[in-house]
Chains A and B, each alone.
Chain A
Amino acid sequence: GAVVSQHPSRVICKSGTSVKIECRSLDFQATTMFWYRQFPKQSLMLMATSNEGSKATYEQGVEKDKFLINHASLTLSTLTVTSAHPEDSSFYICSARQTGSSDEQFFGPGTRLTVL
Chain B
Amino acid sequence: GENVEQHPSTLSVQEGDSAVIKCTYSDSASNYFPWYKQELGKGPQLIIDIRSNVGEKKDQRIAVTLNKTAKHFSLHITETQPEDSAVYFCAARPRLSSASKIIFGSGTRLSIRP
- Chain A contact residues, CB within 8 Å of chain B: 4, 6, 32, 34, 42-46, 49, 51, 57, 93, 95, 97, 102-110, 112
| B89 A43 Cβ-Cβ under 8 A | yes
Which has the most chain B C-beta neighbours within 10 Å: A4, A6, A104, A108? A104
| A109 B42 Cβ-Cβ under 8 A | yes
Tell which of A32, A51, A110 touches B43, judged by Cβ atoms closer than 8 Å.
A110
Flag whether B3 is at the interface (Cβ < 8 A).
no
- Report how far A16 CA is from B1 CA in the complex, Å: 35
The 5 A-B residue pairs whose C-beta atoms are closest, nearest first, are A107-B43, A49-B99, A110-B43, A109-B43, A43-B104
B104 surroundings in chain A (CB, below 8 A):
43-45
Chain B's interface size range is 20 to 34
| A103 B41 Cβ-Cβ under 8 A | no
| B49 A57 Cβ-Cβ under 8 A | no
Tally inter-chain residue pairs, CB-CB below 8 A. Answer: 54
B32 surroundings in chain A (CB, below 8 A):
103
Closest to A107 in B: B43
Closest to A101 in B: B100
| B43 A103 Cβ-Cβ under 8 A | no
Tell which of B36, B89, B100 touches A32, judged by Cβ atoms closer than 8 Å.
B100
Query: What are 24 A-to-B residue pairs whose CB atoms are below 8 Å?
Result: A6-B43, A32-B99, A32-B100, A34-B99, A34-B101, A42-B107, A43-B107, A44-B44, A46-B103, A49-B99, A97-B100, A102-B100, A103-B49, A103-B51, A103-B93, A105-B34, A105-B46, A105-B102, A107-B43, A107-B45, A108-B43, A110-B41, A110-B42, A112-B41
Residue-wise, chain B 45-59 has the 8 Å CB interface mask toward A (1 for contact) of: 110010100000000
- Report how far A106 CA is from B36 CA in the complex, Å: 10
- Report how far A49 CA is from B107 CA in the complex, Å: 22
